[in-house]
Amino acid sequence: MKIVSPKPFTIETGKRAVLLLHGFTGNTNDVKRLGRYLADRNYTVHAPLYKGHGSDPLTLINTDPIEWWNSAVEGYDELRRRGYKEIAVAGVSLGGIFSLRLGEERPIKAIVTMSAPALSKSVDSLQQRIISYTINYKKLTGTYNEDVDKPENLAKTYRMPKLEYLQGIINDTSAKLNQIDKPVHILRGLNDDEYYCQSADYIYNSVKSRIKSVKSFINSGHILTVDKERDLVFEEVYRFFESLKWEE
């Protein structure tokens, strides 16, 4: 079965720009509905696709986390190239920590993090994400064999050598959160792993923003933008951006 690979997308509808960032092993489909929701309300949106994502697992594991970060930066630069001076950023999971990192290194209007990791996490747990991604990909393409494609077997073939570097990016970003003074809105799903709920508290307590808040969604898990309460999430993000004082 041939699958259609997700692609970056841009919808230009207004002077207010929002960069949308997906998560580790995710793709732009994770933020597409949110993008359309904001575009319908006169926000220009752009979502880059991280290098190696949205493809087969071998392609993914042969990329480097710094290349994913560079994809996020290139997305920001694309909006600047198009002439947008005020850029907010909203990210899911790894996209959330990339959003915070952009807030540390680039002029950002405001930041929305959704299920962002901000605490140390074992490389084994990150590797497990690769295995889950591989199994899902094989099922989607009709190549999954239950007898052969056991997690312990896949772990030998689909091991990503640079996951320690990914954890380093997360740790480095978290250590500099006190550099962020722009408005920050932190969203979390209470059905998500406790690690991400604790990370939300850590982010809130670490940033120096005068405007900062945390919102919990009772019936949602990790990828808030595609879960049961996604419509409430979209509205929450929109209301937060509407509360800001934009130049135009």
| pLDDT score recorded for residue 2 | 58
Q: Mean per-residue pLDDT for 26-55?
A: 97
| pLDDT score recorded for residue 4 | 73
Residues with a catalytic annotation lie at: 93, 192, 222
Kindly report, residue by residue over 191-214, the tens digit of the pLDDT.
999 999 999 999 999 999 999 999
What does the mean pLDDT of the chain come to? 95
| pLDDT score recorded for residue 124 | 87
Ordered strands of the 184-189 beta sheet: 9-11, 43-47, 16-21, 87-92, 111-114, 184-189, 212-217
Q: Confirm whether 137 is domain-assigned.
A: no
Q: Mean per-residue pLDDT for 177-181?
A: 97
Q: Confirm whether 127 is domain-assigned.
A: no
| pLDDT score recorded for residue 3 | 66
Q: Confirm whether 141 is domain-assigned.
A: no
Q: Confirm whether 126 is domain-assigned.
A: no
Question: For residue 1, is pLDDT > 60?
Answer: no
Number of domains in the chain: 1
CATH number at residue 61: 3.40.50.1820
Question: For residue 220, is pLDDT > 90?
Answer: yes
Tokens of 223: 């990828």
State the residue range of the domain holding 210: 9-120+167-243
| pLDDT score recorded for residue 122 | 82
The CA-based angle 211-214-220, given to 5 degrees, is: 150
SS (H, E, C) the chain: CCCCCCCCEEECCCCEEEEEECCCCCCCHHHHHHHHHHHCCCEEEEECCCCCCCCCHHHHHCCCHHHHHHHHHHHHHHHHHCCCCCEEEEEECHHHHHHHHHHHHCCCCCEEEECCCCCCCCHHHHHHHHHHHHHHHHHHHCCCCCCCCCHHHHHHHCCCCCHHHHHHHHHHHHHCHHHCCCCEEEEEECCCCHHHHHHHHHHHHHCCCCCEEEEEECCCCCCHHHCCCHHHHHHHHHHHHHCCCCCC
Higher pLDDT, 185 or 165: 185
